[in-house]
Chain A
Amino acid sequence: MAGGGELGGGQKQRRGKAGKRKAKKRLGFRLDMTPLVDITFLLLTFFMLTTSMITPQTMEMSVPPEIDTPIEVKQSELLTIRIRQDGMVFYNTGVDAPQRFAAPSRSKNGSADYKKTLAEIKKVVVDQNVALKNRCIVVLKADGEAPYGLVVQVLDELNSAESEIIDRLKREHGINERKRKFTVSPYVAKDAEELMGL
């Protein structure tokens, strides 16, 4: 492009017209592309620097509609995961005493790292679901003061546990369908009381 294009056509005709004068043969023409290239690079740099490639993702949530009649479930089929206001996560089955998941570690930049906690949550949820053969109900309760980011991370972990549960149910019990998932329910004063000092 910087070398320029050639004007090929039109030369023969001219030669025929102006027969007397010997036309100087045009070899080609040069167009200075420098400004064009400059501007192009400028724009390219601008767009490259301003575009953010990370598009936001979404996590779909379904909550049950408001109903007046409470549904009764067996205590033994209930796995409650509770997030305390300081970000500690606890779990218990039925009316058992709550047990604590691993505490978050501090990462280099000072923010809490829940990697270990989340891995433990997933393990417990999967094991319990498989042990109860599809009849387990996972309930997530989070304190209003707990960070929202942690709640979403736990929800994400529960979501990702699903595939493992389905897989293990199929392999170990031959169950092909998955019925119950998990629910989110409000964290009440009683929950706070139970987790106090643990």
Chain B
Amino acid sequence: MSKIKKKRLGFVLDMTPLVDITFLLLTFFMFTAKFKSDAENQQKFEIKRPQTQSDTAKIPEKDLVMIKIAVDTVAKDTAFYLSMVAEQDIAELRSRMKEGGFPEVDEKSIVYKIKDTVWLGKAIFYCRDANRNAVFAIDADRRLKYRWVEQAMNELRKKKATTFNFVTEKKNGGL
């Protein structure tokens, strides 16, 4: 034994950059995170959107009327699910639907499950009445029969909403 080794007590690593980056990322994810809306919370289905190429536009947030067409996982029936986004529009639409005598409407209704085209037409009319700048978007499952979408398109056309959007998903990896 030539030399007594000095015992190392521990070592200090500067964590500052690590923590800085972590905070930065945390802030980024916190701000970009989008939480489910009330309307999405109520739905009992999952939509697999049709895939398109990347040259499509982003969905408009304001004045949006979403018409979802999907198969309910519990009841196994296909229906139209109509909802509006803005707080004011939701209230306006609710009172109109109530006046119109839509079944299953209460104080908390946000999404309207519509099974026939007559009511869909009426609901579209109420939406346009509630908000003059209403923009319609059809969000349907890609495995669905085209008939459903065709019916929705016809109703929109009848109510003079001739421009609307299809909600799609960006195809990954090009064509």
A residues sitting closer than 8 Å to B (CB atoms) are: 1-3, 33, 37, 40-41, 43-44, 47-48, 50-51, 54-66, 83, 115, 118-119, 142-153, 155-156, 159-160, 184, 186
CB contacts (< 8 Å) of B26 on chain A: these are: 40, 43-44, 47
B83 on interface, CB distance cutoff 8 Å: no
What's the minimum C-beta distance from A153 to chain B, rounded to whole angstroms?
6
CB <8 Å contact, B22 and A44? yes
Provide the residues of chain B in CB contact with A155, threshold 8 Å.
166
Task: Give the residues in chain A near B167, CB-CB below 8 Å.
Answer: 56-58
Given A2-B15, A37-B19: A144 and B165 interface contact (C-beta under 8 Å)? no
Report yes or no: A58 in contact with B143, Cβ–Cβ below 8 A: no
In the complex, which residues of chain A have a beta carbon less than 8 angstroms from the beta carbon of B34?
51
Q: Is the CB of A63 within 8 A of B29?
A: no
Q: Which residue of B is nearest A65, CB measured?
A: B162
Let me know if A61 and B145 touch, CB within 8 A. Answer: no
B162 cross-chain contacts in A, Cβ below 8 A: 62-65
Q: How far is the CB of B14 from chain A (nearest CB, A)?
A: 6
With A50-B33, A148-B148, A156-B52 as contacts: A57 and B170 at CB distance below 8 Å: yes
Residues of B within 8 A of A146 (CB): 145-146
- The CA-CA distance from A57 to B15 in the complex, in Å, is 41
The smallest beta-carbon distance between A136 and chain B, in angstroms, is: 22
Give every chain B residue within 8 A of A186 (Cβ-Cβ). 150
Chain A residues with CB under 8 Å of B175's CB are 115, 118-119
The DSSP consensus for interface residues of chain B is mixed
Are B168 and A56 neighbours in the complex by a CB distance under 8 Å? yes
Contact (Cβ within 8 A) B33 A51: yes
The interface residues of chain B lying within 8 Å CB-to-CB of A54 are: 169-170
With beta carbons under 8 angstroms apart, the residue of B23, B59, B147 that contacts A56 is B59
**Nearest-CB distance from B131 to chain A (Å)?**
18
Taking a contact as CB atoms under 8 Å apart, the answer to whether A147 and B142 are in contact is: yes
Q: For B142, what are the chain A residues with a Cβ–Cβ distance below 8 Å? A: 147-149, 152
B100 to chain A, nearest CB (A): 22
- Find the residue from A1, A48, A56, A150 having the highest chain B CB count within 10 A: A56
* Contact of B59 with A40 in the complex, beta carbons under 8 Å: no
The answer, among B12, B20, B25, B50, for a CB contact under 8 Å with A149, is B50
B residues within 8 A CB of A44?
22, 25-26, 29
Given the interface pairs A51-B32, A58-B59, the reply to whether A144 lies near B168 with Cβ below 8 Å is no
Within 8 A of A (CB), among B52-74: 52-60
- List the 4 shortest-distance A-B pairs measured between CB atoms, nearest first: A149-B142, A144-B147, A47-B29, A2-B15
Are A144 and B146 neighbours in the complex by a CB distance under 8 Å? yes
Q: Do residues A59 and B56 form an inter-chain contact, with CB atoms below 8 A?
A: yes
B16→A63 contact, CB < 8 A: no
Within 8 Å by CB of B146, from A57, A59, A145, lies A145
Q: B44: CB under 8 A from chain A?
A: no
